[in-house]
Structures are given as C-alpha cells and as structure tokens.
Amino acid sequence: MKYIKTAKGDVAIPCLDVRIVPIEQVQANNYNPNHVPENNMRLLEESIMANGFCYPVVTIWDPDLEKYVIIDGFHRYTIMKDYLCAKELPIIVLNHDISQRMAATVQFNRARGVHQVELMGDLVRALVEQGLSDEDIAHRLGMELEEVYRLKQITGIAELFKNQTYSKSWVIVEVDEDE
C-alpha cells in the first residue's frame, strides 16, 4: 500500500491498487441506505460512456461468501452489470470489518454532498451562453426540462429566456350579452 504524508499523518492511497475482476464475483452489501432516481442512473450511464469508468468500486473480500462486497460504488456497479452488461469491473479492496464498512459507506455517501441551487443555476447559465439548447442542457445534466427552466429563473437573467417560445397564458373571448 502506498501512502502520502500529511500534517495529520500518513494517508493510505488504495486507489493506486485497482484490480479488474469478473463482475459476478462482486455483490451489493445489505445495509446501504442510498437510492438514486432512474434519471440519475441514466446520467451515470452517460457519464461512464462519455468519460470512462473513473472511480473504481470500493469493496472488501468476504471469505465466507467468496465474493467482493461493495462498500462504495453500488450504482456504478449496477450500471456496468445491468445497463452495459460488462463482464469485468474495476475495484479496490479495503481490509475493513463490518462496522468500518458500514461507516465507510455512509461517509462516502455523505461526503459527496448535494448540489447548491445557485451554483447549478450558474452552470445552466454558462451552458446557455455556450449555445446549448434547453433540451441539450437537460440531457447532459440529467434533468427534466422543468428543472432547467427553474434554474434559469433563479439566475434572474431575462437574457436566458430570449429564445424561448411562449404560449398565450389567456385568451380574450367576446361574449354576446344578448344570448
């Protein structure tokens, strides 16, 4: 195992020890509370296809099961297995007991954080300024069109809506009062 020296001590770098294993030797854990909506799964699939498989799945070896059990990366594993029908999977293997594994799963999930609305609005603005259509932005960011519209609205810039097609919100109907 390689380490990096820091002010707080040595930090292990297991990501330098990636293994490619048959995907049938890998299985999910039974305690991960994380759920990803289908549209985000499709975005993850698109990301893997466009950018490659950049983050190996974090596992432990379970000698009783004779399988690698996932600590982090269940959704990447699912994309590779179920969506892309891959036969192999890049993994790293930690030497954690069950309590360390459970804590690591939650730490990995929570450390990813959430996107801040204002920053996402700025990102949408930048993509509009690059000439992308609302549909392209929605597709690339894994959003519904309505989300793109809302993010354009929060930026407060009317310029983002200049090419938008609007429908009439109401129509005047003449009514003959003699009837």
Which amino acid belongs to residue 106? V
Please report, in angstroms and rounded to a whole number, the separation of the first and last CA atoms in the chain: 89
Mean pLDDT of 165-175: 64
- Tell me the per-residue pLDDT of 50-64, one tens digit each, with 9 for 90 and over: 999 999 999 999 999
Task: Give the pLDDT score at 113.
Answer: 65
Mean pLDDT of 79-88: 98
* CATH 3.40.50.11540 is right for the domain spanning 13-111: no
Sheet holding 26-27, edge to edge: 19-22, 88-94, 57-62, 67-72, 26-27
C-alpha span between 95 and 90 (Å, rounded): 17
